[in-house]
Amino acid sequence: MNVGVFLFSTPYTAHPADVARKAESLGLESLWMGEHPIIPIQTTTPYPLTEDGRIPDFYSHLADPWIGLASAAAVTTTLKLGTGVCLVTERNPILLAKEIATLDHLSEGRVVLGVGAGWLKEEVEILGANFSQRWLRLRESVEAMRELWTKEEAEYHGQVIDFPAVRCIPKPTQKPYPPVLLGSHGAKGLQRVARWADGWCPLAPGPKVLRKSLQTLKHLMEEAGRDFCALHVSVCLGAQDGQPCADLIKQYEDAGAQRVIIMLGHEAGSLAFRHVHFFEPDETDELLERLAENSVAKLS
């Protein structure tokens, strides 16, 4: 079982390079960052993870994940560099393919691409996408990036993503390309994973629920003619005070996960992201040490 950490990176939290250096030294496998490029001032879209629908203030403070992960890559040698998730629908797929390939090349093959379609309608539309077509745009963007990563001359002609033959270099070090993990939930989410993703990265639903979901996903992938055993499964867990413990991580491993991503400062047992404690930089090393002691050391 691999254990990674998720950093809510803001202007007032620890530098991603410092977190990455410490995490690698403690035997943690990966560093993950998420994104919201903007949060509109006026919104009617409810936040899906709380009863009152209010968007947490810190969403508008999140730093760009690719720049943060590049700084982490510069001070580490083995740490995987993941997005949880990159809002691909809000980006130009050609430019994004270039960024990802460049980071994978410079880091010697350490990128793991978690992707999402976005839930905030106003944000998606301000950044140029049709909200009702976001899942189509996400799939076509991933397909287009795979063409750019694997062909010397690549073109793509979809319903919403369309470009003629181009050259896009460097290519990723990982072959054929970095794994693409879909961050999604529900029956439709599993169907999308089964059709086109290299993996799945849900917020932790509980070991029993995960096991049942993976049984469904195995059936869907068999129907699609795909190899379930090749699927990357990562789950995100809230963490406070050095938790979760090795026993819980082992339960997720037994349920079928290959990786647990511990969300620094996030309330354990909650998926709301409402109560996130942003550790000061000098607190972060101590937190990482407790997490490593309660997870990596006891799992090894």
| Domains of the chain with bracketed CATH | 2-299 (3.20.20.30)
Task: Please report, as a single letter, which amino acid is at residue 20.
Answer: A
pLDDT per position as a tens digit, 179-211:
999 999 899 999 999 999 999 999 888 999 999
pLDDT per position as a tens digit, 206-222:
999 999 999 999 999 99
Cis preceding linkage at 85, omega within 30: yes
pLDDT confidence of residue 265 = 65
CA pair distance 207, 244, nearest whole angstrom: 13
Beta carbons within 8 Å of 226's beta carbon, 6+ residues apart = 194
Residue 82 near residue 178, CB atoms below 8 Å? no
Q: Which two tokens stand for residue 65?
A: 């994940």
CA pair distance 187, 204, nearest whole angstrom: 16
Q: Which two tokens stand for residue 119?
A: 């839930």
Sign of CA dihedral 234, 87, 83, 144: positive
Fill in the DSSP letter of residue 278: -
pLDDT confidence of residue 276 = 53
pLDDT per position as a tens digit, 123-174:
999 999 999 999 999 999 999 999 999 999 999 999 999 999 999 999 999 9
Predicted confidence band of residue 279 (pLDDT cuts 50, 70, 90): low
